[in-house]
Amino acid sequence: MSSNPSGRIVPAVHGLARVLDDPPFVDTLAKWLKTKLSGQGLADLYTRHMLGDDDFNASLRAAIWAAAARRVGRGLHVGSGVGFTHLDTFEIGDGVFIGAQSYLQGRFDGTCVIGDHVWIGPQSYFDARNLVIEEYVGWGPGARVLGSTHTGVPVDVPIVQTDLAIAPVRIEAWADVGTNAVVLPGVTVGRGSIVGAGAVVTRDVPPFAVVAGVPARVIRWRSHPPDHAPLPSCETAATVE
């Protein structure tokens, strides 16, 4: 990243924050809700507390997610207006932040795993039908991950009527995905890599690479690649698209 002489450097906030225990009633309420309400009942209750930035509604959202999901760790923050489908297929770690108006679209037979200390910016979109986001990932506001696409076959019917091809997406630990970037089906974003703002990632990103553009290409390495290979030329940089 280029330096900005007029800017300043300050310590990180979310990535360094200690995970605090939830208010005592959250765990008790989550366990009670799990025994009393169906999945649809939990979804209906969620809509009543989906909006609002106050601590009360935020705590109720966390309790409902804990009741509905496969697993939810401590300190989950679900922002105002966050939507979801098939929350029962989600596993969420400790200290996860989900920004306002994000949408996480699961699938009844899918899996979504979000690791510890993940930060998801507002208005993000996740096709979360076969998705793993490992620990300490930063996800920029408005960034999207697509895990499925219509086959488009046969060609004599509307594309929206053709079969859905679901491919796993993996965002490895410590990676950072920039604002409004798009990660396409079947892609792995490697450990410690950076995806530039607005990039469209169509192929795997190597660990500790920095990629940018449409389609995304390696523009530099945060350090030499793990095998200490030389930095790529303009020609070899095209191997990541």
Two tokens, residue 95: 């200290």
At residue 27, the pLDDT reads 93
What H or E segment, with its residue span, contains residue 65? Answer: helix 55-68
Two tokens, residue 101: 């108006």
At residue 122, the pLDDT reads 98
At residue 20, the pLDDT reads 84
123 contact partners, CB below 8 Å, separation of at least 6: 99, 100, 101, 102, 141, 142
215 contact partners, CB below 8 Å, separation of at least 6: 200, 201, 202, 203, 241
Of residues 20, 84, 29, 36, the one with CA closest to residue 62? 29
Does 3.40.30.10 match the CATH number of domain 80-239?
A: no
For residues 125 and 84, give the distance between their C-alpha atoms in angstroms, rounded to a whole number. Answer: 10
- Alpha carbon 237 to its chain's center: 26
Q: Domain locations in the chain?
A: 22-68, 80-239
- Ordered per-residue pLDDT tens for the chain, 241 residues: 455 667 899 988 988 888 888 888 999 999 999 999 999 999 999 999 999 999 999 999 999 999 999 999 999 999 999 999 999 999 999 999 999 999 999 999 999 999 999 999 999 999 999 999 999 999 999 999 999 999 999 999 999 999 999 999 999 999 999 999 999 999 999 999 999 999 999 999 999 999 999 999 999 999 865 554 444 433 334 333 3
At residue 3, the pLDDT reads 54
pTM for the structure as a whole: 0.88
Amino acid occupying residue 218: V
For residues 86 and 138, give the distance between their C-alpha atoms in angstroms, rounded to a whole number. Answer: 23
Q: How many CA atoms lie within 13 A of 91 on its CB side?
A: 11
Two tokens, residue 139: 């996800």
